[in-house]
Amino acid sequence: MIDLYGQVIADHFRHPRNRGALDAADVSHEDANALCGDRVRFELRVVGGQVVAARFAAEACAVATAAASLLTVLVEGLSVDRAAALPEDTLLSALGTTLRPARVGCARLPLDVLRAAVAKHEGNRR
Using the minimum distance from each CB to another protein, give the nearer residue, 44 or 64. Answer: 64
CB of 60 vs another protein, minimal distance in Å: 6
Which residue type, as a one-letter code, is found at position 95? Answer: L
Using the minimum distance from each CB to another protein, give the nearer residue, 26 or 38. Answer: 38
Asked if residue 17 lies in contact with residue 30, where contact means CB atoms within 8 angstroms, the answer is: no
Using the minimum distance from each CB to another protein, give the nearer residue, 28 or 50. Answer: 28
Residues that bind another protein (CB under 8 A): 30, 32, 34-35, 37-39, 41, 57, 59-61, 65
CB of 85 vs another protein, minimal distance in Å: 27
Strands (E), the chain: 27-32, 39-47, 50-59
Phi/psi for 53 (5° steps) reads -155, 145
CB of 111 vs another protein, minimal distance in Å: 18
Half-sphere exposure of 7 (CA within 13 A, CB side): 0
Using the minimum distance from each CB to another protein, give the nearer residue, 39 or 120. Answer: 39
3-class state of residue 97 by DSSP: coil
Asked if residue 68 lies in contact with residue 40, where contact means CB atoms within 8 angstroms, the answer is: yes
CB of 89 vs another protein, minimal distance in Å: 26
